[in-house]
């Protein structure tokens, strides 16, 4: 059999997506693994053996159904980029412990957050800056980015630190704020991330697992299941690893040596912050005590650097070591040093520079690490944003948007070019984990033969190999079922469909023509016609008619395929799917099935 005789194969849910415009706010998101279940290892023993779980529970947080990894949807308008994310990493998460001996499990586990968040398309840089607080943005894999603090501060009146939020006590005075990386590292997983009491998985510092997935100078040891900074010299600018609430990008640690010259070489960006240990002109807190806060903290808090006795922090000691609080750091720009000369990043932890994605220049934050690859303050963003942090979580989209990406259960199947050898044809396609697929073939595009059914996806891939005597044959692949999963939106459990009819693909662009498939649920009322080839009287998407509609019955479900041509002037937005079959003998009307907002015209 000659592989060249197998041209484009007609697939029931094959969809060739229109290339996204080269806009980094749309194209930098990591969507490769959106069709995989999120996974954790709960113990070191599980980590060592590669054992993972797709459902889990601990204390008050439970992930009782599988949820897909990270970014599931991307939408955009002229003013906003929207992402819908589970907040769960695409890497293997966990384990998390609460002690150095790693015998006591951390009290929290992650959970699907069902978040819809938006970022401004056109960032603005105000004269008056906004202070960060908790969430500062999202990494490109859909994992939450938190600021450098752990939400606990020192209480002067008790001589102790406060209690974590949700712990029933006071979190602290808010003057000497604990550094999350310094104080909570013991609870981090190998990715350097953990979750708080409601299951929000997040990074405070170097997002090393995310960086590994996007190819940013990080090595992964498959034996120890750990990430480390590569010891080789960096050869390329870091990619975008996150987007902050002000709409500016966060890059990995490596940028151009000269901020305006991409030919100047690549090196690690140097933080503008140092410990207050007497070097570089800083106060030596071990000698003076924590009686003043640094100038940057005073500016951010709109207060004096000088403290009253009731605002002092604890003396530097083994129990309260230097670096325990973010205010233990000074900004070199306040000590006579010059940004761009003595260090790279300003007090917001960014600089104005050119990058591969922004050759004309942009404000860009950079991940801060030391020369030996360890995270260093302020990690991702300083105490304040350089831009206006108008990005926020929203409950719904209330404007007309373009659908830029649909993942997970809504992802369009992508069928790779078939491989034929010695009368055996092999098909590989992108799948959704938990999905079951059917492969059919035809020599004339009219009559179809089932080659295989009940093919279970292996993570996010489907595969079929079978013999074929014909040299000219068409193949098509359809998803026929999907296991119950925890959706990225809403509060109810998705049981594997999107109502009566599940469409693939779920959206299309005006001015295009595409093959589509409608899967009618086995639980539909009335039941679907039980015979393949039942005549389809009409198949409409909104006001548009699907041509060449054919029907296949399989496993209790009905699958209607055809071609949808979307005029350039078609109305954008959600469209109702309506499928009507010709009436059986002796009846005046055939069964009709509808699905509101089953397809989106972009």
In the chain, domain spans: 1-17+412-496, 24-271+344-402, 500-602
233-262: per-residue pLDDT in tens? 999 999 999 999 999 999 999 999 999 999
Distance CA 207, CA 145 (A): 9
Rounded average pLDDT over 212-224: 97
Mean pLDDT value across the chain: 90
Rounded average pLDDT over 484-490: 88
Range of weakest confidence among 221-235, 313-327, 570-584 = 570-584
Percent of the chain topping pLDDT 70 = 92
Which pLDDT does position 21 carry in this prediction? 38
Percent of the chain topping pLDDT 90 = 73
Distance CA 115, CA 281 (A): 45
Which pLDDT does position 78 carry in this prediction? 96
Res. 508: pLDDT tops 90: no
CA 397 to chain centre: 18
Which pLDDT does position 71 carry in this prediction? 98
SS3 at position 545: strand
Which pLDDT does position 5 carry in this prediction? 33
Which pLDDT does position 408 carry in this prediction? 92
Angle, CA of 197, 200 and 203, to the nearest 5° = 115
Which pLDDT does position 196 carry in this prediction? 93
Rounded average pLDDT over 438-442: 92
CATH class of 500-602: mainly beta
Domains 1-17+412-496 and 500-602 alike in fold: yes
Rounded average pLDDT over 74-83: 97
Distance CA 69, CA 300 (A): 36
Per-residue confidence band for 490, with pLDDT thresholds at 50, 70 and 90: low
Res. 585: pLDDT tops 70: no
Distance CA 533, CA 157 (A): 80
Res. 13: pLDDT tops 70: no
Per-residue confidence band for 497, with pLDDT thresholds at 50, 70 and 90: very low
Res. 324: pLDDT tops 60: yes
Tokens coding 17: 């997506």
Which pLDDT does position 165 carry in this prediction? 78
Rounded average pLDDT over 519-544: 84
Rounded average pLDDT over 61-77: 96
Res. 498: pLDDT tops 60: no
Q: Are 204 and 146 contacting, i.e. CB atoms less than 8 angstroms apart?
A: yes
Rounded average pLDDT over 580-589: 75
Res. 10: pLDDT tops 60: no
Res. 17: pLDDT tops 70: no
Res. 8: pLDDT tops 90: no
Which pLDDT does position 103 carry in this prediction? 95
Q: Does domain 1-17+412-496 have CATH number 3.40.1350?
A: no
The 10 Å CB-count burial string (b at 16+, else e) for 227-237 is bebeeeebeeb
Rounded average pLDDT over 43-49: 97
CA dihedral 561, 567, 570, 576 (to 10 degrees): -10
Q: In terms of Cα–Cα distance, which of 164, 223, 218, 165 is closest to 192? A: 218
Which pLDDT does position 602 carry in this prediction? 77
Task: Find tokens 């498959």 and name the residue.
Answer: 222
Q: In terms of Cα–Cα distance, which of 163, 171, 170, 195 is closest to 59? A: 195
This prediction has a pTM of 0.79
Per-residue confidence band for 166, with pLDDT thresholds at 50, 70 and 90: low
Per-residue confidence band for 3, with pLDDT thresholds at 50, 70 and 90: very low
Q: Are 62 and 152 contacting, i.e. CB atoms less than 8 angstroms apart?
A: no
Distance CA 307, CA 312 (A): 6
Which pLDDT does position 61 carry in this prediction? 92
SS3 at position 453: strand
Which pLDDT does position 307 carry in this prediction? 98
Angle, CA of 261, 263 and 266, to the nearest 5° = 90
């Amino acid at each position: 059999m000659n592989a060249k005789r197998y041209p484009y194969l007609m697939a029931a849910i094959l969809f060739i997506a229109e290339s996204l415009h080269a806009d980094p706010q749309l194209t930098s998101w990591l969507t490769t693994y959106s069709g995989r279940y999120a996974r954790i290892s709960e113990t070191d023993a599980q980590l060592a053996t590669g054992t993972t779980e797709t459902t889990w529970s601990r204390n008050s947080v439970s992930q009782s159904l599988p949820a897909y990894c990270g970014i599931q949807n991307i939408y955009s308008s002229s003013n906003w980029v929207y992402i819908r994310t589970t907040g769960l990493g695409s890497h293997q998460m966990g384990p998390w412990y609460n002690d150095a001996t790693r015998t006591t499990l951390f009290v929290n586990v992650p959970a699907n957050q069902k978040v819809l968040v938006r970022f401004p398309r056109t960032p603005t840089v105000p004269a008056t800056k906004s202070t960060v607080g908790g969430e500062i943005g999202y990494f490109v894999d859909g994992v939450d980015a938190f600021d450098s603090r752990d939400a606990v501060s020192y209480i002067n009146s008790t001589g102790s630190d406060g209690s974590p939020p949700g712990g029933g006590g006071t979190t602290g005075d808010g003057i000497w704020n604990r550094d999350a990386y310094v104080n909570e590292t013991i609870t981090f997983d190998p990715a350097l991330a953990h979750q708080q009491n409601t299951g929000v998985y997040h990074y405070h510092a170097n997002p090393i697992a995310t960086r590994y997935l996007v190819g940013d100078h990080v090595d992964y040891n498959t034996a120890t299941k750990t990430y480390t900074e590569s010891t080789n010299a960096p050869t390329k600018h870091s990619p975008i690893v996150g987007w902050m609430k002000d709409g500016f990008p966060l890059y990995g640690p490596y940028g151009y040596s000269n901020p305006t010259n991409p030919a100047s070489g690549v090196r690690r960006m140097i933080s503008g912050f140092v410990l207050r240990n007497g070097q570089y002109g800083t106060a030596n807190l071990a000698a003076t005590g924590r009686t003043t806060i640094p100038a940057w903290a005073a500016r951010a808090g709109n207060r004096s650097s000088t403290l009253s006795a009731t605002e002092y922090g604890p003396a530097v000691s083994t129990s309260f070591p230097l670096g325990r609080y973010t205010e233990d750091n000074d900004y070199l720009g306040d000590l006579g040093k010059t940004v761009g000369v003595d260090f790279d990043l300003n007090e917001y932890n960014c600089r104005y520079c050119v990058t591969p994605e922004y050759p004309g220049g942009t404000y860009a934050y950079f991940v801060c690490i030391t020369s030996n690859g360890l995270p260093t303050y302020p990690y991702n963003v300083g105490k304040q944003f350089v831009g206006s942090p108008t990005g926020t979580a929203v409950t719904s989209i209330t404007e007309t948007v373009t659908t830029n990406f649909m993942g997970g259960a809504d992802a369009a199947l992508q069928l790779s070019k078939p491989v034929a050898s010695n009368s055996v044809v092999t098909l590989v396609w992108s799948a959704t984990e938990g999905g079951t697929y059917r492969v059919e073939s035809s020599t004339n595009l009219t009559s179809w033969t089932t080659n295989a059914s009940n093919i279970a996806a292996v993570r996010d891939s489907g595969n079929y190999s079978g013999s074929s005597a014909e040299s000219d044959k068409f193949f098509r692949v359809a998803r026929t079922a999907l296991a119950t999963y925890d959706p990225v939106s809403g509060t109810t459990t998705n049981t594997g469909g999107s109502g009566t009819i599940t469409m693939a693909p779920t959206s299309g662009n005006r001015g295009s023509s595409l093959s589509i498939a409608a899967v009618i649920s086995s639980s539909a009322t009335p039941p679907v016609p039980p015979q393949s080839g039942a005549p389809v009287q009409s198949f409409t998407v909104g006001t548009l008619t699907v041509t060449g509609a054919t029907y296949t019955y399989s496993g209790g479900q009905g699958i209607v395929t055809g071609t949808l041509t979307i005029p350039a002037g078609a109305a954008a937005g959600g469209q109702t799917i309506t499928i009507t079959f010709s009436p059986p003998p002796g009846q005046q009307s055939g069964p009709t099935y509808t699905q509101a907002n089953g397809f989106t015209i972009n």
